[in-house]
Amino acid sequence: MELLKAFVLGGLICLIGQLVMDLTPFNFSSADILVTYVTIGAILSAFGLYQPLIDWGGAGATVPLSGFGHSLAQGAIEGVKTRGLLGALGGGLAATSTGVAVAIVFGLVFATFTQPKG
């Protein structure tokens, strides 16, 4: 049941992006989509609207990049609670630091050992 909810929520979140890409006359690049999802996720999270999605759909809400936005926003809020103003500045990045570090490492590892295939 939990898996089904994750499937449905995750699928829906991606589907919205696909529809925007297909149905609008604008030419959205990968980067545009990614930035929008992170931003929307962060804003929804700030208003407490993203946690309910996670409570219902689990990974369906955390895996899409809007979940990354949620981590950023929650991280900033946690930062304020523990470190005040400095926490507001560093909290977001701190919370997502593992993900960024991992991305850098794997980026370098795979760049070293594989070739682009075109």
DSSP string, 11-22: HHHHHHHHHHHH
Binding flag, residue 50, another protein (CB under 8 A) = no
Residue 49 engages another protein in binding (rule: CB under 8 A): no
What count of other Cβ atoms lies within 10 Å of the Cβ of residue 35?
A: 13
> Is residue 80 part of the contact set for another protein (CB under 8 A)?
yes
Closest CA to 67 of 103, 32, 34: 34
> Is residue 31 close enough to count as binding another protein by CB under 8 A?
yes
CB of 52 to another protein, least distance (A): 16
Tell me if 73 sits within 8 A of 92, measured CB to CB. Answer: yes
Size of the site for another protein (CB under 8 A): 79
Among 23, 24, 27, 48, binds another protein (CB under 8 A): 27
